[in-house]
């Protein structure tokens, strides 16, 4: 079964939707220049009402390692996601500091060469996206046809195209944010439809 991550949760309602429909992961965006940014303090309050079966992911973009570690120690996240230009040394440092928190490294898919770089990452999981930061547009999925390790697929996913993505490329997980929003906030009905589509496509 393809796993599901809903990213960019900011409100109590968002957590209640997650608890109702049970994606495998939810994401808190800790990059202050992004529109779905949430403070670590606010995220910790939301985490306290999140179903413990759902893993929380802290999303960072070129943040200092010390800041990431400080937030990780608070217990707000079960996984660490890196969406910037973080180096191999950066990744390995976090893995050593928090062996219990898987590291997900996002890569912008532009060519076969960018796929090779991603496949060689020391991160626990890699994430393929069309760009850095929630543009809501898909990339050329054919570039990942030979990916030989578990990956998250993000960028431009919808309930309409997720079936094709899963059946052709078999991602470990799919990651969606703007595709389940209306007016820049999470939409309960869109979340339900998307999760149902993923489950039906994974049968």
Q: Which residues are catalytic?
A: 7, 129
CA neighbours within 13 Å on the CB side: how many for 21?
27
Residue 43: both structure tokens together: 């995220």
CA distance 31 to 201: 32
Percent helix, strand, coil in the chain, to 5, is 35, 20, 40
Strand-pair category, 151-154 with 3-7: unpaired
DSSP state letters, 157-175:
--TTTHHHHHHHH--SEEE
CA nearest neighbour of 58 among 49, 187, 67, 143: 67
How many CB atoms are located within 10 Å of the residue 14 CB?
23
CA nearest neighbour of 180 among 128, 145, 134, 123: 134
């Amino acid at each position: 079964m393809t796993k599901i991550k809903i990213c960019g949760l900011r409100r109590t309602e968002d957590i209640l939707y997650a608890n109702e429909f049970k994606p495998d992961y939810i994401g808190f965006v800790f990059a202050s220049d992004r529109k779905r940014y949430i403070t670590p303090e606010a995220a910790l309050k939301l985490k306290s009402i999140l179903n413990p079966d759902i893993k929380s992911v802290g999303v960072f973009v070129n943040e200092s390692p010390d800041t990431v570690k400080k937030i990780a120690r608070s217990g707000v996240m079960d996984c660490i996601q890196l969406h910037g230009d973080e180096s191999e040394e950066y990744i390995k440092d976090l893995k050593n500091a928090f062996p219990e928190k898987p590291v997900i490294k996002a890569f912008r898919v532009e060519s076969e060469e960018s796929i090779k770089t991603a496949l060689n990452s020391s991160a626990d999981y890699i994430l393929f996206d069309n760009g850095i930061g929630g543009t809501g547009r898909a990339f050329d999925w054919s570039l990942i046809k030979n990916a030989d390790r578990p990956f998250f697929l993000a960028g431009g996913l919808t309930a309409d195209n997720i079936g094709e993505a899963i059946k052709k490329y078999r991602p470990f997980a799919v990651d969606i944010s703007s595709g389940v929003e209306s007016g820049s906030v999470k939409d309960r009905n869109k979340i339900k439809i998307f999760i149902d589509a993923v489950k039906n496509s994974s049968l």
